[in-house]
Amino acid sequence: MEPRQSIGLVAHDNKKDDLVEWVAFNKGTLSLCNLYATGSTGQRIIDKTGLEVTLLKSGPYGGDMELGALIANGKLDYLIFFWDPLQAHPHDVDVKALLRIAVLYNVPTACNRATADLIISSPLFESWQYKSGKKSA
């Protein structure tokens, strides 16, 4: 049996509706994955879709760092982070650290719906892991 993909889901307040809508649209594919999400984003996904989601802390309370730890420990294959480029965020340092660790560990990261669509529709999504030490193309 193929290992399940693990996906981190997080969104800033002004982007939560967009992420929840994206997850609902891709519910069939995402139901085959291990999903991790920060607090209120994850709860909204569960309420809308009924998908099983491992809830982490809210972003400002350490959820972004928890996602970063999952990446650093090789437990997250993809990061879907709908962030708001027009809004200032008090935990901006945590956001930048999460994006930095995703790049450092070569984790495919989507920061908007168009990129998330490209990731989930790619033939590489199910057949190839980007991280070394897992399977190869």
- What band does 129 get if pLDDT is binned at 50, 70 and 90? low
Helix (H, G, I), strand (E, B) or coil at 11: strand
Predicted local distance difference test score (pLDDT) of residue 86 = 72
- What band does 2 get if pLDDT is binned at 50, 70 and 90? low
pLDDT surpassing 50 at residue 56:
yes
Is residue 80 within 8 A of residue 19, CB to CB? The reply is yes
Is residue 5 within 8 A of residue 34, CB to CB? The reply is yes
**Per the residue annotation, which of 64, 77, 84, 92 is the catalytic one?**
64
User: In whole numbers, what is the pLDDT of the chain averaged over residues?
Assistant: 88
50-65 burial: b if 16+ Cβ within 10 Å, else e? ebebebbebbeebbbb
Amino acid 24 reads A
Domain borders along the chain are 6-127
With 0-12 CB in 10 A as exposed, 13-18 as middle and 19+ as buried, what is 8?
Answer: buried
- In sequence order, what E strands does the chain have? 6-11, 34-37, 53-55, 78-82, 109-110
Structure tokens at 82: 């709908």
Q: What is the CATH number of domain 6-127?
A: 3.40.50.1380
Note if 117 is an active site residue: no
**At a CB cut-off of 8 Å and minimum separation 6, what does 116 contact?**
22, 80, 82, 110
Report pLDDT digits (tens) over 61-115: 899 999 999 999 999 999 999 988 777 666 677 788 999 999 999 999 999 999 9
Predicted local distance difference test score (pLDDT) of residue 4 = 85
Edge to edge, what strands does the sheet with 6-11 contain? 53-55, 34-37, 6-11, 78-82, 109-110
pLDDT surpassing 50 at residue 31:
yes
129 vs 52 pLDDT, higher one? 52
